[in-house]
Structure formats: structure tokens, C-alpha cells
Amino acid sequence: MQKILGHGSVITTSRYTHLTEGRKEFAEEYINNLMSQIKVDWNGVV
């Protein structure tokens, strides 16, 4: 992420990419919802 954003320091990256608790919970719910829609079997993604 640091490289993508062009930051010279990981401290700068962490300063601008932190999540508030509410945003973290929203992101977690959103990601879990997306992941629950993916169907996988022994032959790959369905």
C-alpha cells in the first residue's frame, strides 16, 4: 500500500489509511457479504 500511495514512510501510510471503528465494522461486513457469495468446489470457483 505504501508503494502504491507513493509514501516514503510506513508512518505516513498508516496515518492516512487508518480506519475508525465504525468504518472497520462496515468494511468487515461488506467483505464478509462479498465472500459469502463466492461458491468454491474442488474444481475451482463455481
Task: Tell whether the model's pLDDT for residue 29 goes beyond 90.
Answer: yes
The predicted structure's pLDDT at residue 5: 83
Number of domains present in the structure of the chain: 1
The pLDDT value given to residue 46: 65
Integer Cα distance of 5 and 1 in angstroms: 6
* Predicted pLDDT of residue 7: 87
- Asked if residue 10 is part of any domain, the answer here is yes
- Is the confidence at residue 14, as pLDDT, over 90? no
pLDDT exceeds 90 at position 32: yes
Please report whether residue 44 resides in a domain. no
User: Do 39 and 46 contact (CB within 8 A), yes or no?
Assistant: yes
Residue 21 belongs to a domain? yes
Residue 17: pLDDT band with limits 50, 70, 90: confident
Q: Give the pLDDT of residue 21.
A: 81
Domain containing 32: what range? 2-38
